[in-house]
């Protein structure tokens, strides 16, 4: 993913990151469509990745994209349920292994 591990425990939010590749669960972002906000929730456990996403989505306009990077294994299930319950679209998600740890990435389109 885009940010190195942060031993201080600070989890930054980044603006203007590129869209993430991964299997689409709903129509994928248009090619070249930029993610408006990037939330690093690595190292956080449930419910913190969802709470960070909810707070970040509140700052976006309808249709803008948010990318969340998390390491919590339950985050896949959590983000699917969160999007279903809130009406936001989970447009892409994927997983990779980084430094021996599974990392999950989610792209959400604000309703």
Which residues are designated catalytic?
Answer: 46
Strands of the sheet containing 89-98, edge to edge, are 13-15, 37-41, 65-70, 101-109, 89-98
H/E stretch holding 101: strand 101-109
CA 18 to each of CA 33, 44, 66, 77: distance values in angstroms, whole numbers, following the listed order: 8, 23, 10, 24
Residue given tokens 């959590």 in the structure block = 78
């Amino acid at each position: 993913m885009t940010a190195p591990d942060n031993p201080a425990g600070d989890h930054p939010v980044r603006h203007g990151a590129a869209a993430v590749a991964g299997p689409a669960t709903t129509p994928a972002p248009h090619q070249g469509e930029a993610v408006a906000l990037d939330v690093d929730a690595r190292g956080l456990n449930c419910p913190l990745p969802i709470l960070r996403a909810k707070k970040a989505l509140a700052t976006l306009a309808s249709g803008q994209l948010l990318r969340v990077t998390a390491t919590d294994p339950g985050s896949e299930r959590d983000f699917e349920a969160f999007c279903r319950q809130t009406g936001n679209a989970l447009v892409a998600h994927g997983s990779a292994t980084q430094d021996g740890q599974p990392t999950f990435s989610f792209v959400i389109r604000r309703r």
